[in-house]
Structure 1
């Protein structure tokens, strides 16, 4: 660690850890500023510190850097003033004002730049989340290259990449099971106020996550406390009486900042464009960090998200009339009742210790407990009403279907990791080794479907449907226990000055005990090997070419066949080649990638077939393949001009040649940019963007659809503006769906349709101190 004092007033603490540049903010300095400071070097060590304007981002290269004199017995020596300038080397994005990051360890646990990482990686920074008001994880992922979503109803969204469901989620690099086929990918409603950034690594990620689909891994990286007091607060109001408040305080608990804490809280309430639907969420995050020694840091944290919507929908409204024509509805219409709800309560407690050795090696140990509790009572409509009357006679007509379920889960995870440089054959290389162990217990009780036989008029959505007596119904219990453990390692070899090779792998052990609907399963797999290989060639100082091969496997405990047996694991592998460029000293990153993914034994719906418990039946299918191309641009085009742009296209089919997951678009494109005006207009920042996606459809008699449905391609525009009222206070306006486009979120799922939000606005008052 290096301590720099500027004119006896500002103190800067620079740490070699990729994710820990502790600093004191320097108000009023602009990006790219050159500054003079007396350099303090402890002992005989030499260090060069780099500052990127007021962003507080540094790089430190040294032979051996000691801490300040009060923490050592060595004497400080003040040297003459020097001029220091350079670029950011920390992975932290908060306070940088940037749409990119200089480092990420999301792919291999090795701190590498985006250009040095042999996979497609997108980092959604704190600045971009603030500019676009991406206050939920769904908002973040819907604005990420190569990620698309299908939203079945108001509270259930599944995310896909390269044609496959995303079921890999990490908190600070620790794998966590969040979603299932009941609640989709399970993370859409999470508030993003806790996070410094969201990292998305596309393709197989078995090296670090162990299990999952070869789609993408999502890493939610939490904010950390600073050594100086800092805080932020915001109040927002928007369409449909939406209100949001956020408070964020970081403070030292000791004078020298060796013990420090941070607390973040949010509250959001209001109505929705959907009649009767009232989303609500409360969230809290707290963390304490302490430097036990100059090289050892311990942390203890807790976060809690309470998501309690009222009037939750279940599916959409009937898409087809009995004469085979399609129905059209206002975007606000739904049949959910006042008693409908889908509550989720998520809690995480975590503790960690990290030690940084003088030789550049780091050791980290993290223990994490993740708890969830949910309960839902839902109502939907199915059937084919009469076009003239909106009613019908059984079996035609639209009929209410109700469902109730509740569940809870607990996952305990421990992760140990060591990483650092080593020398071999006269060159310096990097190595990471680690081990992970987790145990997850999950219980769910579900009441069977309750079908009402009084038809509902789809034109006025009457009559209302009273709450069924779910408590009197015999529930169907499901009990699942999953134990996983694994050891992993990856080495980055410097074969030549421009050529780097990354090789590694993971040995995983999985044991599953599952019981549901009178059936039980015990599955055990030991020593499953998952390979990782990548090569990066630096063409010049700007461009590099890469190729990689990654693998992954996925226990499919959420999917059962017609006999009620859980499907055996799927096996996936991804081959990828690409070209990356880093411009303006790394402040702008670009990439293009070609990929091919293969997945065997993939869970596939069997149309019209159910399990003995009455759930949808699946079967394993071999030969599933996905091919495509992705282009990504993130960062700064010029001073005060940020940009994010991406295009992704893929084709995917199962072993029989049928289109895979046709309910998601094959091509997506997006652009978002902000610009701070120059001169006398510098208090004003303007921006905007557009999202476009190709058509998607449900084929007749496939999956959950009998007649199918199709949504054509569409584009959504957005605008944003921000005005700095004072140095600490600003007012932001965000306008979404600029042209008020009507579009379907899903069309054909259970022969229903659900629509997206119309034009809406959010006004936010921000204060930072």
Structure 2
């Protein structure tokens, strides 16, 4: 027999989670732990991987298992088979294991306990695939589709709806209108430990939002011991990247510690004349004011300054009605074309743990953005023979300019912990939040910059910068105020059955002024209910069902008069099955969902706002339903895998396909394997991304003649060799078959292409 005792004393781990001094692993397995001691995993060998057929091969016999939320001193004796297996921790895996997330309900729940579809992109996978931007992360996430209009604008969708729910460490943040260049796609991932994606409604936390997905960016935290990491990378088109990450204690006992991360990436691109560049800094100080109280202060800064930024693509149609085909490198953006973005975030977090298992957390954030854009594009239908044409045929330059800034102040306070009722222990979270966002911008609406047609074959002549400074602009001032109180409780109805119910009362107010035309909208006491039921079938499988109400203001969508659309409302329902194998090192899930939404924003073909942006109108009766399957984690020692398939159908109240510009089915697969024996320094990997066709019908949205991209697959390979214990060399090869595909086809009757085959070589150091 092997016996372990728990002290009952809880402490915080380096990533901010609460854990006991002797913490649970699996099936009643416990091991002693200290803050600085490396974790090992006591686990059994497990057999199958497939969700329906896999079964756990090991069951520990436990006389008593203490509740993980209790802070009361206790003494627990566990009797285990005499078996110890040492394996990788979750930091080197493709899943969180038993690490908890609050991204769905604010209750600390494992993936198995969360009654929604959740995908986690771990630090290990980010490094393996060189997913150095949030855009790359989301493009490699199950159930997420991207629509890239040009070099700087990418919108992300889930289940047919655009994602506008962004969280930093679980705190919602309004990132603004992605169309105007203030989205999250270009953010560098070096600052984050992992990215959590919760698909479906998230109104319990945000009060507002589409029934698409919530993106939670989990920041890196300081470690108690000194650590350092750095990388240097070079790749195709003179791409070069550097990163440094240092964490250090500031006091001898480690009670005050700090971490700084810096990044730089520059070079050229497969697009002629386009030079992307971004640099960033992240710093955080963490101090244990007492054994149970922690204060965190942090700041991050990201500066994104591409040159030769594109606006839209190249003309898709010739004047004779046939489609044009271009080299992937062709780009009409000029040397003066740019779309600069600066994003700054400052935050403070206070957290205190009480002896009764409760804790309180207060967080303040300030999020600022600034952008400045001067852009040139081509529209029209050139002559197929000459590439020119004469009015009304031909391709003509269209220019615009825009600048703006935003600031959001937000504050959130919450308390959570266990309570007893009817002889059982349950969990409760209560909180309140408030935010205020102000936006100001000046837009020079798109205009024809010249009357001489451009030759689409050689993209001549070059076009000088228009005199934007002398042109009249349309000013916009927007103020958004949100506040709310929320609560959720997790009731243990029986040993295998847990009920999560909660709700949020929200207040929302917007004042919007566009060129002197004003709009005021206010809604108080909007109630957003949430309910989830989780049934543990056995130690491996759990089944769940959830319901979320939807209240989604739409300040990014305006009608032909420039007025903001009123909020959309609806509901989303989901059922699913989850499996956790190999002591939580492998997670699988299948989910079925259905969403109904009224007053959803839809484009009005050929109609624009006074500022020149696309106009929208609200549509009732929108429906979306589908299925998602996911597998992430460790199949065997040294073998990591991520796989997922998603399919949805969506239509408006008239039965017309909704957002046909998005693929209906997407599939992801990526895995790595570390060789054994004499070859154990070598890790090999590869993957494939596949998506079904997307299209735009004639005379819908911004398209007059439409356009279609057939289904396609992209293959990637990677290899990594450990030169020493601390140094490795990695190579990543993307688009192995050099597949030519369109990022968008039909927007304003233009086409934009994705990157051809490319390679990245990275030298990594870590101590």
Residue 250 of structure 1 pairs with residue 269 of structure 2: no
Residue 327 of structure 1 pairs with residue 324 of structure 2: yes
Residue 190 of structure 1 pairs with residue 179 of structure 2: no
Query: Where do residues 10-409 of structure 1 align in structure 2 (5 Å cutoff)?
Result: 15=11, 19-20=15-16, 51-52=40-41, 61=68, 64=71, 95-102=91-98, 103-180=100-177, 182-183=179-180, 186-409=183-406
Deviation of 1:99 (Å)? 3.4
User: What residue is the counterpart of 2:50 in the other structure?
Assistant: none
Q: Give the whole-Å Cα distance in 2 for the aligned partners of 1:340 and 1:545.
A: 52
User: What residue is the counterpart of 2:593 in the other structure?
Assistant: 595
Q: Give the whole-Å Cα distance in 1 for the aligned partners of 2:33 and 2:407.
A: 50
Q: Give the whole-Å Cα distance in 2 for the aligned partners of 1:465 and 1:425.
A: 76
1:419 is aligned, of 416, 420, 439, to 416
**Contact 2:341/2:371 (CA < 8 Å) preserved in 1?**
yes
Residue 659 of structure 1 pairs with residue 648 of structure 2: no
- Runs of 4+ aligned structure 1 residues displaced above 4 Å come to 16-19, 35-41, 59-66, 82-90
Residue 518 of structure 1 pairs with residue 507 of structure 2: no
Q: 1:517 to 1:718 in 2, by over 3 A?
A: same
Q: Give the whole-Å Cα distance in 2 for the aligned partners of 1:265 and 1:606.
A: 44
Q: Give the whole-Å Cα distance in 1 for the aligned partners of 2:415 and 2:742.
A: 48
Deviation of 1:64 (Å)? 4.3
2:478 is aligned, of 477, 480, 490, to 480
Secondary structure, aligned partner of 1:532: strand
Q: 1:250 to 1:657 in 2, by over 3 A?
A: same
Q: Give the whole-Å Cα distance in 1 for the aligned partners of 2:644 and 2:416.
A: 32
**1:470-517 CA distances to partner (integer Å, 9 max, x unpaired)?**
010001100000000011100000000111000001110011000002
Secondary structure, aligned partner of 2:606: strand
Structure 2 stretches of 5 or more lacking a match?
A: 20-24, 44-65, 74-80
**Contact 2:94/2:121 (CA < 8 Å) preserved in 1?**
no
Q: Give the whole-Å Cα distance in 2 for the aligned partners of 1:750 and 1:196.
A: 39
TM-score scaled by length of structure 1: 0.90
**1:271-303 CA distances to partner (integer Å, 9 max, x unpaired)?**
000000000000100000000000000010000
Higher relative contact order (CA 8 A, sep 6+): 2
User: What residue is the counterpart of 2:533 in the other structure?
Assistant: 535
**Contact 1:588/1:633 (CA < 8 Å) preserved in 2?**
yes
What root-mean-square deviation, in Å, do the aligned CA atoms of Structure 1 and Structure 2 show? 2.6
Deviation of 1:608 (Å)? 1.6
Deviation of 1:612 (Å)? 3.7
Q: 1:306 to 1:612 in 2, by over 3 A?
A: closer
Instruction: Indicate the larger mover: 170-179 or 235-244.
Output: 170-179
Instruction: Indicate the larger mover: 409-418 or 13-22.
Output: 13-22
Structure 1 stretches of 5 or more lacking a match?
A: 5-12, 24-30, 42-47, 67-81
Q: Give the whole-Å Cα distance in 1 for the aligned partners of 2:296 and 2:441.
A: 33
Secondary structure, aligned partner of 1:459: coil
Q: Give the whole-Å Cα distance in 2 for the aligned partners of 1:126 and 1:712.
A: 33
Secondary structure, aligned partner of 1:153: coil
Q: 1:663 to 1:528 in 2, by over 3 A?
A: same
Q: 1:333 to 1:63 in 2, by over 3 A?
A: closer
Q: Give the whole-Å Cα distance in 2 for the aligned partners of 1:50 and 1:259.
A: 22
Secondary structure, aligned partner of 2:141: coil
User: What residue is the counterpart of 1:79 in the other structure?
Assistant: none
TM-score scaled by length of structure 2: 0.91
Q: Give the whole-Å Cα distance in 1 for the aligned partners of 2:34 and 2:509.
A: 55
**Contact 1:728/1:768 (CA < 8 Å) preserved in 2?**
yes
Q: 1:100 to 1:275 in 2, by over 3 A?
A: same
Q: 1:742 to 1:564 in 2, by over 3 A?
A: same
Residue 568 of structure 1 pairs with residue 566 of structure 2: yes
Deviation of 1:450 (Å)? 2.8
User: What residue is the counterpart of 1:752 in the other structure?
Assistant: 750
**Contact 1:22/1:227 (CA < 8 Å) preserved in 2?**
no
Secondary structure, aligned partner of 1:193: helix
Deviation of 1:350 (Å)? 0.4
Q: 1:681 to 1:447 in 2, by over 3 A?
A: same
